[in-house]
Structure formats: structure tokens, C-alpha cells
């Protein structure tokens, strides 16, 4: 069974640029959630995708957008990068999203470290 994978592992961009981060969910998982983790902080929820539809969004501006594909892999796109976007971006997958803790437990990928200069 393959776990959650993310690419790339590290990325350096400059202010104003755009970036796309990718995530492959664990086998059998149809739900992907994205989180941003700044240094010294807990992960902050960006949004979740369930069966290719957005299923909830955190307090992030519209320049953060996403997609989920038929194979349940997902992308996070960030436009007009700002210095404060520098963080570890985490993708987590789960079997479902509202079936109780046994299906909703989220497993994290290794993350993408984004640095904005």
C-alpha cells in the first residue's frame, strides 16, 4: 500500500510568482486536505476535496486554489506569492470525511517546503 506522496519536496520562488504543488493520496482514499504550517505553528487548514468537489475551506484568500482529479490526486495552486506564503505545505488523505474517526483519520504526506524570496 502506497502512502501519501507530495512533489516537489522543496521549492524556491520569488514574490508575485505562481506555484503548483501536487499530492497523491493513499490507495483507497477519496478525500484530500491541504494545510499550511508556518514555523513554530500547528498546521492551518486551507481546503479539502472530496470526490473532486471542494468540501470546506479555511481562512485563506482566493489566490489559494485547488483541484482534485478522478484518481483522487490533488493540486494546490498559489498565485501572486507573498513572503508570508513561505511555509511547509502538507497534504493529508483519508478514506472519507464524515463517517466517523475510523474513516476520517487523516494521514499526512512528507510535505513541500516553499520559500518565497
Size of the site for other proteins (CB under 8 A): 30
Considering the complex, what minimum distance in angstroms separates the CB of residue 1 from other proteins?
A: 15
**46 in Cβ contact with 61 (< 8 Å):** no
Kind plus residue range of the DSSP H or E element containing 81: none
Q: How far apart are CA 91 and CA 78, in angstroms?
A: 14
Considering the complex, what minimum distance in angstroms separates the CB of residue 93 from other proteins?
A: 12
Sign of the Cα torsion 9, 14, 15, 17 reads negative
Q: Which of 66, 109, 114, 116 binds other proteins (CB under 8 A)?
A: 109
**CA 114 to chain centroid:** 12
What is the pattern of x (binds other proteins, CB under 8 A) and - over residues 54-73? -xxxx---------------
Does 25 bind other proteins (CB under 8 A)? Our answer is: no
**79 in Cβ contact with 62 (< 8 Å):** no
- For other proteins, give the closer residue by CB, 15 or 96: 96
Provide the binding-site residues for other proteins, judged by CB under 8 A: 31, 33, 35, 40-45, 48, 50, 55-58, 88, 90, 92, 97-98, 100-101, 104-111
Amino acid at each position: 500500500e502506497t502512502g501519501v506522496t507530495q512533489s516537489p519536496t522543496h521549492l524556491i520562488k520569488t514574490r508575485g510568482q505562481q506555484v503548483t504543488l501536487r499530492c497523491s493520496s493513499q490507495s483507497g482514499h477519496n478525500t484530500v486536505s491541504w494545510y499550511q504550517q508556518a514555523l513554530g505553528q500547528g498546521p492551518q487548514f486551507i481546503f479539502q476535496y472530496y470526490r473532486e468537489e471542494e468540501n470546506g475551506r479555511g481562512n485563506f484568500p482566493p489566490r489559494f486554489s485547488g483541484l482534485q482529479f478522478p484518481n483522487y490526486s490533488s493540486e494546490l495552486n498559489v498565485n501572486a506569492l507573498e513572503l508570508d506564503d513561505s511555509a511547509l505545505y502538507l497534504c493529508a488523505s483519508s478514506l472519507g470525511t464524515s463517517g466517523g474517526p475510523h474513516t476520517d483519520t487523516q494521514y499526512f504526506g512528507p510535505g513541500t517546503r516553499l520559500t518565497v524570496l
